[in-house]
Amino acid sequence: MSECDKPKDTERALDEFLDFLGKGDLSALEGSLTGLGVEETSLIFQKTCNMAVELHQSLMNFKNSLCNTNVTMSSTTIPDAADKLENVMKMTFEAANTTIDALEHQTQLLEDSKQSLEESISRIENDGRLCAETRGELVELLNGSKEKIDLSLESNFKVITAQEYQDLTGQALQKVIKLVQELEGGLVGIVKLFGIEFNGCQTSEPETVVIESETKISQDSVDELLKGFD
């Protein structure tokens, strides 16, 4: 073997090594390592073989998880999660509107009562038929009620202001729903790429998956890629 051929042979051996590593072909991988001059008794030989086994097992587990008929995250779980978020948002919106409507009605009643009290206080203060002491006691009593109404109006205003933050909550939930739907679309693309239908069975007819880079991958190419994991 000439000196010029050695780099090419080494490059070829490395390509074979990576190919065998991806396929999980332990026997061929050991031969490839030996061809690269790695002794079978060396630590790197043992660690590389162990890594190949673990890598292959991980790929197999991932493939099995896609094929598992009990896994329905693409067809039910994720869409269901988005639906639940939408339901939460809808119920929160309806509850907030109900609360605000009730508070606004109550606020109007309190303001009407406050106005009536002010009119009553004015009449009592100007009623000469009552002695000064009686007028003072009645005015003090009505002013106490008026102060309580003012406190109730202030509390109502705080609750209404807090409920208005529901709009911000709804916007945040809308963003979460959008992210979940985008995640669902990405997972569906992965499932299609691996030739798996949503019910966990392999597709019977080849299909072409279009990647954003405008590169087309046929189902035959995908099958060829996955053939090493069988």
The predicted structure's pLDDT at residue 23: 63
Q: Please tell me the least confidently modeled range out of 155-159, 165-169, 216-220.
A: 216-220
Q: What is the 3-state secondary structure (H, E, C) of the chain?
A: CCCCHHHHHHHHHHHHHHHHHHHCCHHHHHHHHHHCCCCCCCHHHHHHHHHHHHHHHHHHHHHHHHHCCCCCHHHHHHHHHHHHHHHHHHHHHHHHHHHHHHHHHHHHHHHHHHHHHHHHHHHHHCCCCCCHHHHHHHHHHHHHHHHHHHHHHHHHHHHHHHHCCHHHHHHHHHHHHHHHHHHHHHHHHHHHHCCECCCCCECCCCCCEECCCCCEECHHHHHHHHHHHC
At 87, the pLDDT band (50, 70, 90 cuts) reads confident
The predicted structure's pLDDT at residue 178: 77
At 89, the pLDDT band (50, 70, 90 cuts) reads confident
pLDDT in tens, 185-196: 766 665 555 444
% pLDDT > 90, the chain:
8
The predicted structure's pLDDT at residue 124: 85
The predicted structure's pLDDT at residue 10: 65
On average, the pLDDT of the chain sits at: 69
pLDDT in tens, 10-50: 667 667 766 766 666 667 766 776 666 666 666 766 676 66
The predicted structure's pLDDT at residue 196: 46
Angle at 86 between CA 85 and CA 90, to 5 degrees: 120
Mean pLDDT, residues 141-167: 86
**pTM for the predicted model, two decimal places:** 0.41
pLDDT reading at 206 higher than 70:
no
Mean pLDDT, residues 82-103: 80
Do the strands 209-210 and 216-217 form a parallel or antiparallel pair, or are they unpaired?
A: antiparallel
